[in-house]
Amino acid sequence: MHQLDQLKQHTTVVADTGNFKQLAQFAPRDATTNPSLILKAVQQPEYAPLLAATVAAHRGQPLDAIVDRVLVAFGLEILKVVPGRVSTEVDARLSFDAAATVARARRLIDLYAAAGIGRERVLIKIAATWEGIQAARVLETEGIRCNLTLLFAFCQAVACGDAKVQLISPFVGRIYDWYKKQAGAAWDEAARAGANDPGVQSVERIYTHYKRFGIATEVMGASFRNVGQITALAGCDLLTISPELLAQLQATDAPLARRLDAAKARDADLPAVHYTPADEAAFRFALNEDAMATEKLAEGIRAFAVDSAKLDALIKEQ
């Protein structure tokens, strides 16, 4: 049995791509997208007709409305391949506007509903800023399930749990990138691999906290740089993995054992931590104290915003 099938015995495998024609070979349950992945997909010749047809069908509408239709068009194609859910992201440029995030999420859900897709098959991706978490709090009460992304700090995870969001996506690889860059020549790749990887440790801490305190929010490790990070998190609720790394997992039959265990986590000796809507100042201070998370969150929002603007430009050209 190759490692991908072994992993599926412990963890729900999710494909991290906008390239829906690649999905079937890996048989993931769910799929995630983001502005960068959609931008990459629409620039490939095989996806150009979908972009052109969607834009042509809605020419004359506001640009942001057409963008949402393009995102949903890709989501609908993905849902023809995966049996579970697709994650579709709210424009990163709204990351600090809770009301606008709520409005955009409702529109995305309405577009899916008009195409016959129920809410249970869609996750609305939102950056895990304070405003994004509060928007998700509102959306979850309406039955709109959310995936809080660009998550780097423990305080972000705790606040998401308090807001009862459906799922969070801690970014393993980008955490690893930051610590490796900070260490420079002193970085020891072998010593910081597997369970000692700082990105892996971040996800394990969140997973343990959630299981210990009965928090139902799903933990989905994301943004992997190598297979070792994935195998070190076997047993996590979900892992979203690029096609390149899915192929590597398929190519080896080395043994893969469960590492995260909910039963053991429930017995962990941990202090309770909360960030309710009344704790905005405490949340912001905790995030500010985490230099890695502060820098990577800001960097991630900027990068997604740049790619959203590029997608806007492509659509204008149509």
Catalytic choice (21, 80, 125, 181): 125
Backbone angles phi, psi at 187, to 5 degrees: -65, 130
Backbone angles phi, psi at 128, to 5 degrees: -85, 50
Element (H, E) at 219: strand 218-221
The Cα–Cα gap between 153 and 291 comes to 9
The Cα–Cα gap between 318 and 42 comes to 12
Backbone angles phi, psi at 50, to 5 degrees: -65, -40
Residues comprising the chain, all counted: 318
C-alpha distances (whole Å) from 234 to each of 39, 123, 131, 285 are 30, 23, 31, 32
Tell me the one-letter amino acid at 262: A
Tell me the one-letter amino acid at 303: A
C-alpha distances (whole Å) from 9 to each of 234, 292, 303 are 9, 33, 34
Q: Counting beta carbons within 10 angstroms of the beta carbon of residue 147, is it exposed (0 to 12), middle (13 to 18) or buried (19 or more)? A: buried
Question: Angle CA(49)–CA(63)–CA(97) in degrees, nearest 5?
Answer: 125
Torsion angle of C-alpha atoms 280, 281, 286, 292, degrees rounded to 10: 80
Q: Are strands 238-241 and 218-221 parallel, antiparallel or unpaired?
A: parallel
The distance between the two most distant Cα atoms of the chain, rounded to a whole number of Å, is 58
Is 264 annotated as catalytic? no
> Which residues does the annotation mark as catalytic?
125
